[in-house]
Structure 1
């Protein structure tokens, strides 16, 4: 399973759906049902060990999961949050370690618990990673819109900043860009036009369909934490149903509801 094969999955206008796993069982299930590529979800990894998502606290767990998933017959891309370090060299070393395990891609984000990293930081990280591990697909994620969903106080999404950041990240050598939580089709189309590299968006059950996202020029659609949250919902439904409380089953928990549990 190679970097080149992963690159070929990214076809503008013909997006592939990337399921995001949180443990070996979930990834193996996705592979068994025909998915050629699987990603990891940082929320699922963090929640499984009782730590907050996006706080840079799960480096060891992320590497351990990658080592386990690399045994599966699929292309594996790993969410490494912000790189688990602010030092570009240390992030590059981590990606090189993952590459040795067989990982073909990583997500690296500019979001932090209190806001966005400085605009110039992620380009330096991308350049260091591509120099150290050129055969790893770097999916550069900007959280210009996601931080509002995550509940960061005072954060206001800014599409102009989004477009500026994705262009800088592409110019720094990113193989693709990822912008979760874009609000509408017009914003998605604007990112596709600005990026110049394959664009990844987050699947939203109430948002555009896979076909509609293809018509907008998207190349990858990630499920993010949705499968993990849906699994928790199913587990709670099973337990409440066994307890005779099926009527009390809530809807699938939101990202914010899960992160609140981790605090």
Structure 2
């Protein structure tokens, strides 16, 4: 994850467990073997890193957020953790696999990150990843921009990268990674609680509002949720309009 993002581990774990719960199927695709060296890139608070370790792999969790790494260390002190920016990882042909769930879309320098992943992998090593794909949370982002532009003349730039399959395939292949699987799919995602949408925005998109005075920021958040309610609030529950890009590539 980007060093430019400030993360709230408590809100993440309390309200957004779906991030790692939905990522468990990606571990099945990874199929970690005992003794394999695996890098969990953008490990967050470590739940999936621990799942990989339970399979017997020698896993290292890496994240660019000091808050997330500290929480991961508290959650799973028996595992290894490293604070680092993905584009500048200091690894050279050290890993049998790089695993990444819901993290690569925060890394705007996609080509540099792909080169670092390729360097980190042994020959024949694999990248197994899922990230936000083209059109991810399009309705949410449209509402955020609409409201944010009413409150400030200079709306902050997006801090996410949601590529199409063809776009991301080109990035990976230019670094010597061969695509074996790549698919883009819709995955409407249930958010937790009556304030699920506002909690989601606070966790993942608050940078659009954090320059506003607190009372105005909260008012903008309320307006955003109201704008989204006809589209993304169904049968008493909030949903996020997720589109995911899932892939396997081999060096």
TM-score, normalised to structure 2, is 0.35
TM-score, normalization by structure 1 = 0.34
Structure showing the higher strand proportion among its residues: 2
